[in-house]
Amino acid sequence: MLRANFVAFFLAICLGSCKSQVKGNMGNSYDGGMELVMSGDYSGFEKEQLLKFDSKSEFEVFFGKINRTRKPGIPIPDIDFEKKSVLVRLKGTSTNNISDITLGMSSNETLLFNKVKTNSRNETTAVLTPFFIYTIPKTTRSLKIQ
C-alpha cells in the first residue's frame, strides 16, 4: 500500500514538472526579463513616453528631473550598466498609478511592448504623473509600444 502511494506520488511530481521544463520556440521573441526596479506617482513629466538609458550619466540626468521638486530626493537606484539597460515608462497625466506595459514579441531591431488596459476601479480623483523604472539585459534594440 505504501509503495503504491509512493509510485503514484512520484508519477504526479514527474508529470507536473515536465511541463515547466519545456520552453516554447517563440521565433523572434526577446528572451530577457523585464524587472521593475522602482515606481512613483509624480515624475513631473506630463507627456507619455518610453525611454531607454544605457549609461549611468544619462540616467542620473533624467533622475535629476524627477527629483527636482523633492527635498530630499529619491535615491538613484544602483544599476550595473555593463550588463543592463534601463527602461523608463512615463504615463503622462493619469488618474491611476498601475504599470501598463508588458514585453511582447520583438524583432532583431525592435523591442515591442504591449499596452495593457487598466481597470477603471483603480483610478483616483488625483491627477498623477506616474513613472516606472525597469531593467532589461543590455540591448541595442529600439523600443516601441503598440
pLDDT (tens digit per residue) in 66-112: 888 888 888 999 999 999 999 999 988 888 778 878 887 777 778 77
Sheet holding 84-90, edge to edge: 35-40, 131-137, 84-90, 49-53
**β-bridge pairing 110-115 and 142-145:** parallel
Residue 19 pLDDT greater than 50, yes or no: no
Tell me the pTM. Answer: 0.69
Question: In the prediction, which pLDDT does 28 show?
Answer: 40
Other CB atoms within 10 Å distance of the CB of residue 142: 11
Question: In the prediction, which pLDDT does 61 show?
Answer: 93
Question: In the prediction, which pLDDT does 1 show?
Answer: 59
Question: In the prediction, which pLDDT does 10 show?
Answer: 52
pLDDT digits (tens, 9 = 90+) for 116-144: 776 666 666 778 888 999 998 887 777 77
Calpha distance 103→56 (Å, rounded):
23
For residues 134 and 100, the answer to whether their CB atoms sit within 8 Å is no
Q: Which residue has the higher pLDDT, 139 or 1?
A: 139
Please, which pLDDT band fits residue 17 given cuts at 50, 70 and 90? very low
